[in-house]
Every structure is written in structure tokens, then in C-alpha cells.
Structure 1
């Protein structure tokens, strides 16, 4: 069985999508439609902008979404998923690819999400750090021990790699404790805020209104969602999980394990970069992981 997976923020690079735009009439049409919806030419920044321009929140998230979804839709008949999943932002790409969200609605929600997250970051500054080579339960235990600051396990990326998220002081304190507990590395990340933590609550509230107003259809295949790592096909459940995602952990390790348990033997990453392929191989060496 084939599982199509979609990356999140951080996978972007200048030049992304240019070959698709130039070689596929469908891709060109979708990119131009995106320019109209967003009200600015995101393609100019994607194809020939600077790294700094591409790192702007209002650009990064829709850019990764567009590259991912258009890659899948222009895959010359290869796109026939038995299941889909996306890492954080990538969950929106996975829902469009599975037919649960229209391309237009998916893009509007991603843009709304990006702007809401930017506002939440400015209102309550925070950060994230990658913890390498420490068991998940130990990471959780240390996060729970920090009671005077916000600090949670935010991304379960693969065994031995968990990203924590929270206030500046909370993450600084946690990094010291993680190293003392035997972590090989506790690496602060260059991110704009404390994503997938309670500090994103204002963004969750703002995005909830947009998600509730959006039509979500029954997908053509199960979508494994970040919040519980389980397959979902019920539109009401999908909406609830999308809303909860902003302040909840991304259970990527568990999602991949569940997809494998449910029969996935081949993982195909759609979008910029190859980060998810690397994580999937670390989760289970026996499965195939490749780009589209």
C-alpha cells in the first residue's frame, strides 16, 4: 500500500516549483490561481526571491503547501494514495491530496493559519529546541517538571528525536536538564515562536472560526492526523483535529508506525526537500521512502 506524505515549514528553498510551473500547464494554472487568491505573486518569491523573503510567515507556509499539493496533482497518474499524512502544516496538503479540502479552501486556510500564528508569536514570544538521543518518556518527564514556564514535547519526529516547544525561559531550562539527563544534543531551533504549544492558543481560536466556516468532504482515503496519529475519514473529526493541531503535539513517529501497521509498504514524499523520507527510514528501515 502507498502512503503519500507532505512536509511542513522549514522545507522551503528558493526556486521551488519553478520546473513544475514551466513544464506543466496544470501546475501553471494552479500557481496563477494561488497568486490571485493570495493577492500577491507568491510565485515570484518562490522561483527567484531571496531566502529572507521566503522565510516570511505569510510566504513560507503557503509556498510549501503549494509546492506539495501541485507536485502531487501533477504526478502523471502516479498519485493514487491508499493513505495520506502531513507533518504539521503538511496536514493541510494531505487533506487536499485526499480530496477532503479543495485546493482553494486549503490555500485560504493555510494563509489564515500563517497569519494567526505570526500574531500569536508576536503576542507571546517563544521558541523550540530539538532533543537528540533521549527516550520520549524522559523528554516528557523533564518537560512536566518545569511548572513555572511553558514547555512541552511538540514534535515526535522519529525515535531519538523530539522537538520541545515553549517560553524562552522554559526551553532554556529544559535544554540544560535534557543534557544533564544524557541527551546527545539539545539544539535551539531558528523558529519564530513556540509552535504546537499552549502559547499558540490565540492562533487556535482564530483558526477555529476559519475551519468551521470551511467545507470538508469525506476523503477518498484515510488521512492520519497529527493530534492522535490515527486514520480519519469523518469530516467532523477532521475539523476538530485540525483545530486542536496548533496547540497539540505532532505525533509523526506514531503516525508512520500506525500507517505501517495498517499496511503501508511504500512512502512517497510530495513537496520540497526530503526530510520526511529520512525520518521514515529512522522509524522503520524495512519500508521504502522516496520523493515523487
Structure 2
């Protein structure tokens, strides 16, 4: 069985659904409100578990009601929580507005996630036993670097989603095998709005890059190889929250199972396409049989 370790954030998503997102200073009336477990770490962990891997999350929740709900969600999704710390205070939250076109705007309050600034005892041993380590940037950078360096020491493939976009220290980039930014993040990291130029610039720092292009699919680039794009299934989006994390979680499983890169990208795109047709982040993530069916269609 493929083992994926995820070091990252766990939030409760507080989601408001509106016809049109408000502008600055504007008040609008929404049609629905939901609380949905999320956070980029949690999203990728649950996506990978649904896609068929054994998954363990490394992170933290608060000792509040949200923390208990988040831990329960992991357990019901098949994600191991032995390395999920409970700390005093509030759990992380994300305040999300979703419009009728499926677009979203998000404010994240880290809370308990801010305490994950180092690897706890046992975390490195877990990483060493994994087939891949998934990282994002919603916990303190010191922990992200520590996790990536631990993976490098043990020959474990490291996949980094550079979100929210911020300057990446050289020691982190030196320990990353695969960088997966979206178009916005690729531009923020390189200054290039053209995804191919951005990917080429990033290859000076990491050996492989995948730029996700939303409905247009994804662009793969690697040192010494010709870049190529893989299209995404054309679907009607209801809510794009968590789609990128669904893609990365499924991609990690596919790569760890030894699928060729192009095939892995197509399978991950099928997972993301299913997720955008449903509301919420973790609540929208498809299971392996659904992904297989979508990919075969």
C-alpha cells in the first residue's frame, strides 16, 4: 500500500455562498452557509486517502469544538491522526466566499497551525517510511524546511505546493523534488505571466515543476526534457475550493504507484474535475473508483 505523509495545515472552512462576491465596502446577501473541514494540509491528506493511499497527517488542531470535529473528519476519511497535535486555544479557520461561477476568495487565520514550527518526536521516522511527503505553506516555514530536509535525508520524494505564495528560501528549494504552483503562484515566484517561462525559471531551482492551469489542465516541465501540457476534463464548476489540493493529493498517489507522468497528470485532473462539481473542499473530494471512471470516460 502506498504511504503518503502530509505536513501542513488543518482548518475549519466557514463558507458563504453568494451570487456575486462583494466588492470592498459592499454588503451582499448570501444564500447558504456551511462549515466544512479544510486547510491545504488536510485537503491534500484527505484527497490522497480517497484516491487510495495510506495517509498520515502531521499538524495541529486546537482544543476547541472545531478541533474535535477536524480530528473526527480525518478518522472518518481514513487519515491517520497519530501525528496530529492538539494544542491549547483555537483551531485554524478559513473564511471563504464562493460565487455562482465557482470562484472563491479566502481569508485564513492560522491559530493552532502557527504552533507547527518544528518536527515533533516521531515525525521524521514517519516521513522516512513514506513514499512521498506533501508540503504547503500554511504552517510556519521553519517546519516546512525541516520536513523537506528530513525527506531528502531519507530519499523520500517531496512535493511542495507553494501556497500562499511567498519567497522560498534556498534551503527549502534544495530539498524539493517537485514544485506544483498554480498560474498565480508561478507568476509570484518568477515574475513571468507565461506559464512556460515561469516553469523554465523554476527549473533553475527544482528538478520538476507542474503549473496547474485550472480548466486548461496542467503544464509539466523537467530539467532536460521538453515541457508538455495535459488537458483537464471540461465540466461545469460549482465550487473550485480545494480543487488544486485534490489534484495534488491524487497526483502524489499516482506517482507513488509508478504511473507515467502524463498518465498521473490526467488521473489527477480527473479527480480535480470531479471536485469542482461539488460544494466544499474536503466534502467534494472523489474516491478512487470515481476517479478511475472519470479518467476512463
TM normalised by structure 1 equals: 0.28
Instruction: For CA contacts below 8 A with separation 6 or more, give which structure has more relative contact order.
Output: 1
TM normalised by structure 2 equals: 0.27
The structure whose residues are more often helix, as a share, is 1
The structure whose residues are more often strand, as a share, is 2
